[in-house]
Structure 1
Amino acid sequence: MPDTSTLLPNALWNERLFNGAWVNAPLPPENVIEPASGATLGRIGLADADTVARSAKVARDAQVHWFAQPYDERARVLRKAAQLAEQHFDEIVQWLVRESGSTRPKAAFETSLTIKAFYESAGLPSRSQGEVLPTSAGRLSLARRRPLGVIGVISPFNFPLYLAARAVAPALAVGNSVILKPDPRTAVCGGLILARLFELAGLPAGALHVLPGAAEAGAALVAEPNVAMIQFTGSTGAGRKVGEAAGRHLKKVSLELGGKNSLIVLDDADLDTALANATWGVYLHQGQICMSTGRLLVQRGIYDAFVERLTAKARSLTVGDPAKGEVHLGPLINARQRDHAYQVVQAARQAGARLETGGEYDGLFFQATVLSGVQPDNPAFHEEIFGPVAVVVPFDTDEDAIRLANDTEYGLSAAIISRDVGRALKLGERLRTGLLHINDQTVNDEVINPFGGVGASGNGTSIGGPANWEEFTQWQWLTLKGDAPLYPL
């Protein structure tokens, strides 16, 4: 029996891919870098287009066997994966801290969400899978949900474990096989850990493949004839390319993309409550979340007091290596992301915004930043920063708040803070957004909810909760008669 005291021994995964077994990669390996320290944590194997093609063929064959398993066997594998994640909770958290730059509380929260996603997915195989339709006498007419086949999952770096697992787990649960291409920057915590969990849980070999790779591997996955669907989570720019390619190949596609999300603080809000929500929404995981609060729309009567308190709060937030102690903010994922955040802050100042605090960095550690007086013609008003930058915008009336919040190509999440729930709900009904939170902030996901955006935040699909059966299966109409009719023609 293998030693499972450590979930993912270095010797098992180093320079390898997972296709049901741990195999050598065809391309030169790439270093796994700890963003906080620059240390090398290991070397990941990288897949090329040929590797993707071979895996797709294996996965297609394996899917037939996997779907043929009794429904309770598929549920058992999902439950076992959850139990193994609980058993190795601390090790998984440590990988998230070191490889993705997560603070320890964020990493623990993400791991807990992933475990919940496993358990929720374990309930999918035993749910009703269709309907009995009305038809003529002597004929049975059914509409039933059937797995698509092979699902290609392309996942991002920011919540790497959960944003992969929320697609992998339900896709497997309803009888598909999966090829996961995690972001190479977080390929261990966002991919290889999932491979190991399902391997130990008893998933049949070939039903899950984990293939870190560059753009070539992603393009091959989208184009591969044996892959029936792509579930992509990432930037809007990359998502447009994935959607275009998937459409060209007549492939079902789910796009979960970026956001410029507004938290509206009405003038009747409690300032302490509003500040707590704003701080969480803006600065959680250094702002590297699609649901991050990209704009704080604050009514004029409380605007000055709010900016003053937010500035003081931002100055109190500690920034440092989350592997070495408790800090509020860890590092940004790499220099490219850091430079983007810095450039947006500088452009915002040149366009008239006031830098209340922050705006500087040391290595990949970016200070908690507050920009006030941001107007709709300012770059910081429209651009997704993906950094720890609060963009504070004043408004006068509820109509102004609606206009400002809707002034974006994105439509992922929005939130409103107010003592008057009716007023907040009336305002919220006019916001173009996939997620709406009254008296909460913009960063929310409970696994059991449909999650998806509109506009440049997605293509109208949702993932999670009741949406999973719809997303990862397709309808088949089945009719049955005792005897075939003799048609008169």
Structure 2
Amino acid sequence: MTFLDSAVWGGKFCSDGWRHSPARQPVTEPATGDRLGTVGAATAEDVDRAAARAAEAQRAWAATSPQRRAAVLRRAGELFTEHAAEIEDWLVREAGSVRSKAGFETGLAIGECFECAALPAHPQGEVLTSEDARWSLARRRPAGVVGVIAPFNFPLVLGLRSVAPALALGNAVLLKPDPRTAVSGGVVVARIFEEAGLPAGVLHLLPGDGAVGRAVVEAPEVRVVSFTGSTPVGRAIGERAGRLLKRAHLELGGNNALVVLPGADVARAASAGAFGSYLHQGQICMTTGRHLVHESLVDEYTAALAAKADALRVGDPAREDVALGPLIDRGQLERVHGIVTDSVAAGAKIAAGGEIDGAGYRATVLTGLTTDMPAWREEIFGPVAPVVSFSTAEEAARIVNDSEYGLSVGILGDVGTAMRLADRIDSGKVHINEQTVSDEPNAPFGGVKASGTGSRFGGPAANVEAFTETQWLTVRPDIADYPF
């Protein structure tokens, strides 16, 4: 039996052990439409039961020694390493990842676990001054039960980056993966922590539809909701959490800009731009969705980018050596093509691609755009690179900021000019002489404006802030005297 053998999870979800469910959710390969298996679909009642059990188990887990919690996280990292090949196979087949992207994602998962293994030993508060004769402390305590709702594009790491720190800091977790990636975004995580020695009841895997997500948000025991996904869904979750007086950490969409400054090396810039726009078929919140190129380089850059796009093969990454795999489903494929065709109808020109290719989409370059066209203004979530020109740094800053999103920006060229430009840009992340897609477990991650509620992931400061509550504690040597 393999680590992810369907005999363990087929027709089941994990909540205090693997439970059979009368409702089944298909696991489908987007490249072929083949069924890879089924998982058990949870219900709202299952969520309520899991939340109550998680609240019970959380207190014992929070009281577990820091060394013991750290050991579970370290062992999880080791298990990801031991079973990397099998996990990557699932990312390729279920999520449509090309092999290099699957390896990158699994590597991030390993790093996340080892990074979070240090959190139990992280300082848990501070000593405050006081006007009274007492000790005054601000201490961090686990929030309690954390609800994690994860997306399909990087299903493993975008769930794990909340699950791992929440567990390390003494919380229990309800994990709801995207229905399209319930194995690589859910079963993998549950199996890893099961084998790593996490006590029963602390982590619950609850695959399901939107009703299950709503139940996770609304369960009274859930005090923090961590959601990664689209801006419209994030707004709805934020509104619901606000009404219930719960914290919601929202990492949402992006329409990220890559700025190519005058004098930049065009060949290297086009390579960076192609990577930023076409990695994982453009299905990344950090994807380069807008290319701003100085007017002195725009023609050369567009030609170089189009040449790279034309050379990228589309196909089934489980069976072919391809650069682009399938889009996650037919609906997303048609949405991407619709945005391209609508923009062309409005006057844009196709320099490369612009075609459906089986279950995938050809790497596309668009020129002749205005900034009000859908391919420029919308988050496409597909392999489309719109290019416009600018003449001054002031104009570039204005165009970059003229977006509802503010997640990631790349600036290529002279570092001094890039630093001055970075100071004028509204974005959660800025990368100089890099494209827009970048992530490390120890670095703060998040966006501004419609891209989310700021950096709530990555690094000890962000993780402690995200998944703990602050308690004021005072201590006197004797009972104080009072005038009553």
Deviations for 1:75-95, whole angstroms, at most 9, x for unmatched residues?
000001111111111000000
Deviation at 1:460, TM superposition (A): 2.9
- Quote the residue 1:112 is aligned against: 107
In the alignment, is residue 322 of structure 1 matched against residue 352 of structure 2? no
Deviations 1:327-361 (A, max 9, x none): 10000000111011000000110111111121111
Greater shift, 366-375 or 196-205, is seen at: 366-375
1:266-298 residue CA offsets vs partner (Å, 9 max, x unmatched) = 111001110111011000000000000000000
Stretches of structure 2 lacking an aligned partner (at least 5 in a row) = none
Residue 138 of structure 1: CA displacement? 3.4
**Conservation of the 8 A alpha-carbon contact between 1:267 and 1:302:** yes
Residue 441 of structure 2 corresponds to which residue in structure 1? Answer: 447
Query: 1:20 deviation in Å?
Result: 2.8
Shift of 1:391: 0.7
Could you tell me which residue of structure 1 aligns to residue 401 of structure 2? 406
- Residue pair 2:119, 2:169 contacting (<8 A) in 1 also: yes
> What residue identity is the alignment partner of 2:217?
V
Specify the SS of the correspondent of 1:17. Answer: strand
Decide whether the 8 Å contact of 1:20 with 1:204 is kept in 2.
no
CA distance in 2, matches of 1:379, 1:137: 62
Q: Which residue matches 1:386?
A: 381
Give the match for residue 260 of structure 1: 255
Cross-structure match for 1:144: 139
- Is 1:46 the counterpart of 2:65? The answer is no
1:200-219 deviations in Å (ceiling 9; x for gaps): 01100000001011010001
- Give the Å deviation of 1:97: 0.3
Q: CA deviation at 1:8?
A: 1.3
Q: Does 1:92 align with 2:87?
A: yes
* TM-score for both structures, normalised by structure 1: 0.98
Aligned to 2:451: 457
Q: Is the 2:92–2:98 contact (alpha carbons within 8 Å) kept by the matching residues of 1?
A: yes
Question: Residue 15 in 1 paired to residue 11 in 2?
Answer: yes
Q: Give the 3-state SS of the residue equivalent to 1:320 in structure 2.
A: coil
Give every structure 1 segment of 4 or more consecutive aligned residues whose post-TM-superposition deviation is greater than 6 Å: none
Given residue 346 of structure 1, which amino acid in structure 2 is its aligned partner?
T
Is the contact made by 2:444 and 2:455 (CA closer than 8 Å) also made in structure 1? no
* Aligned match for 1:310, one of 300, 305, 310: 305
Partner of 2:197: 202
Q: Deviations over 1:139-181 (max 9, x none)?
A: 1111111000000000000000000110000000000000000
1:24 and 2:3 matched: no
Work out whether residues 40 and 207 of structure 2, in 8 Å CA contact, stay in contact via their aligned partners in 1. yes
Residue 172 of structure 1 aligns with which residue?
167
Whole-angstrom distance in 2 between the partners of 1:137 and 1:460: 37
* Residue 186 of structure 2 is aligned to residue 191 of structure 1: yes
**Do the aligned residues in 2 keep the contact of 1:373 with 1:394 (CA within 8 Å)?**
no
Deviation (angstroms), 1:44: 1.3
Secondary structure of the corresponding residue to residue 100 of structure 2: helix
Q: Distance in 2 between matches of 1:411 and 1:167?
A: 21
In structure 1, distance between residues paired with 2:428 and 2:362: 30
Distance in 2, matches of 1:58 and 1:20, equals 8
Shift of 1:29: 0.5
The gaps in structure 1 that reach 5 residues or longer are: none
Matched residue type, 1:431 = I
* Post-superposition offset of 1:247: 0.5
Classify the secondary structure of the residue corresponding to 1:330. coil
Match of 2:157 in 1: 162
Aligned counterpart for 1:75 among listed residues 70, 73, 95 = 70
Q: Distance in 2 between matches of 1:55 and 1:432?
A: 40
190-199 or 458-467, larger mean C-alpha shift: 458-467
Pairing 1:425–2:408 present: no
SS class of match (1:170): helix
Counterparts of 2:244 and 2:208, CA distance in 1: 21
Measured in 1, the distance between the counterparts of 2:306 and 2:370 equals 18
Q: Percent identity?
A: 53
Q: Using the alignment, how far apart are the partners of 2:176 and 2:462 within structure 1?
A: 22
CA positional deviation for 1:461: 4.4
2:257–2:288 contact (8 Å) kept in structure 1:
yes
> Pick from 17, 29, 34: which aligns with 1:34?
29
CA contact (8 A) 1:255 1:461 kept: no
What residue number does 2:237 align with? 242
Take 1:361 and 1:221, find their aligned partners in 2: how far apart are those partners? 37
1:271-310 map, 5 Å: 271-310=266-305
Q: Could you report, residue by residue, the CA deviation over 1:378-421 in whole angstroms, capped at 9, with x for unpaired residues?
A: 11111000000011111111111111101100000001001x21
Q: Matched residues in 2 for 1:65 and 1:239: separation?
A: 32
The residue number in structure 1 matching 2:126 is 131
Contact 2:428 2:455 in 1 (8 A): no
Aligned equivalent of 1:218: 213
Q: Secondary structure at the match of 1:296?
A: strand
| Equivalent-residue separation in structure 1 for 2:281 and 2:18 (angstroms) | 34
What is the rounded CA distance, in whole Å, between the counterparts of 1:292 and 1:451 in structure 2?
14
Q: What residue identity is the alignment partner of 1:451? A: F
Q: Is the 8 A contact 1:97 1:322 kept in 2?
A: yes
